[in-house]
Amino acid sequence: MTSDSSALEFTGERFTPECVREMAYEHWHRYAWAAQVVAGKSVLDAACGEGYGSNLLAARARSVTGLDISEAAIEHARQRYAEDSIKFDCGSATELPYEDHSFDVVVSFETLEHLEEQDRLLTEFRRVLRPEGFLLISSPDRKTYSDDTGYNNPYHVRELYRHELEALIDGFFPASRLYGQKLMFVSALWQEQGLGAHQFLTSDNDSVSASPAPDYPPLYFIVAAAAREELLPKMPGLSLYGDREESVYEHYNEEIRRHIQAGHLLAERDAEIARLRRQLQKPWWQRLFQRS
């Protein structure tokens, strides 16, 4: 449950629930995905920001501790998400104020790329995790997020390529599993009596290829990591996320409607301009006669 406290100002550094469409899908999906495997567990949401993710995890977890370095974000979270199963602390993720082996799960989304001290971050996560615990962490793929687009996120300090991310995780957790995330425009077709095996069909001009995974590079990676393979959470091979209002699709349809309306207006104005030009090309005495 949330209180009626005002929204935290969106600066671009931290996601807030008031953000909509594409950004909302990406952020909410990660936490909704993580919430499936935290039932009955004590969870640390490291770099929790506004607190919306901690609140979502708390619906299933035994307890959730949200931590962020921003005093303003933590104060906001305490007011907005006042629940017995959640507490919020102000502190640095690279110097966690908790005893060794304090948590069953550490969740840290949209954190790694904001820090230079990434080894220190993983050291702290491993320290506060219980021996049978696991980590869920996200990271943008530097190639698809920045190199291929030319985009420079001013809040990102150190983005990683896939091999760099895997090497970093392997240095602290012997077992890991990599997931890709990307917002895609697709047609979904499913069996109404229950899902079976899944496939992705990708068209390329006149040909269509079938594969068990999307034929696109992910924009983000999410890693599940633990001390041993059997301790990794059992996550679905495919996870889809949407909101009941279908806000992204509705926004797309609205933009198409506006584009069509603008096209009609431009066509009408072009026709009017053409008519006026034809009028101006007539001799002056014909134009005078037409006015009278």
Q: What is the pLDDT of residues 13-60, one digit of tens each?
A: 555 555 555 778 888 899 999 999 999 999 999 999 999 999 999 999
Task: Supply the pLDDT for residue 180.
Answer: 95
126 Cβ contact partners less than 8 Å away, ≥ 6 residues apart: 135, 172, 173
Residue 285 pLDDT more than 70?
Answer: no
Mean pLDDT of 216-234: 95
Q: Which band of pLDDT confidence, cut at 50, 70 and 90, is reported for residue 221?
A: very high
The Cα–Cα gap between 53 and 51 comes to: 5
Q: What are phi and psi of 221, to 5 degrees?
A: -115, 145
- As a whole number of angstroms, the distance between CA 41 and CA 62 comes to 5
Averaged pLDDT of the chain: 88
Q: What's the CATH code, domain 21-186+202-242? A: 3.40.50.150
Element (DSSP H or E) covering residue 87: strand 86-90
Which has the closest alpha carbon to 220: 123, 125, 154, 136? 136
Q: Is the pLDDT of residue 256 over 70?
A: yes
Mean pLDDT of 62-82: 94
46, 105 in Cβ contact below 8 A? no
Q: Which long-range CB contacts under 8 A does 195-199 form with residues at least 24 apart?
A: 198/237, 198/238
pLDDT at 292 over 70: no
In sequence order, the 6+-apart residues with CB closer than 8 A to the CB of 7 are 16, 17, 18
Backbone φ and ψ of 199, nearest 5°: -145, 160
With cut-offs at 50, 70 and 90, classify the pLDDT of residue 2: very low
**Looking at this protein, which amino acid is placed at residue 73?**
A
Give Cβ neighbours of residue 175 (< 8 Å, ≥ 6 apart). Answer: 225, 226, 227, 228, 229, 231, 232
Determine the straight-line distance between the first and last CA of the chain, rounded to whole angstroms: 73
186-204 pLDDT per residue, tens: 888 888 877 677 888 888 8
Share of the chain above pLDDT 70, in %: 89
For 133-168, the pLDDT digits (tens) are 999 999 999 999 999 999 999 999 999 999 999 999
pLDDT at residue 134 in the model: 98
Q: Which tokens hold the place of 205? A: 């001009």
What does the domain layout of the chain look like in residue ranges? 21-186+202-242, 249-291
Write down the pLDDT at residue 83.
86
Q: What percentage of the chain reaches a pLDDT higher than 90?
A: 59
Residue 71 to residue 205: CA distance in whole angstroms: 52
Report d(CA 81, CA 214) in Å as an integer: 36
For residue 132, pLDDT over 90 is answered with yes
Confidence category of residue 289, pLDDT binned at 50, 70, 90? low
Of 212 and 96, more confident: 96
- Provide the whole-model pTM: 0.81
pLDDT range class, residue 179, cuts 50, 70, 90: very high
What CA–CA distance (Å, rounded) separates 90 from 177? 30
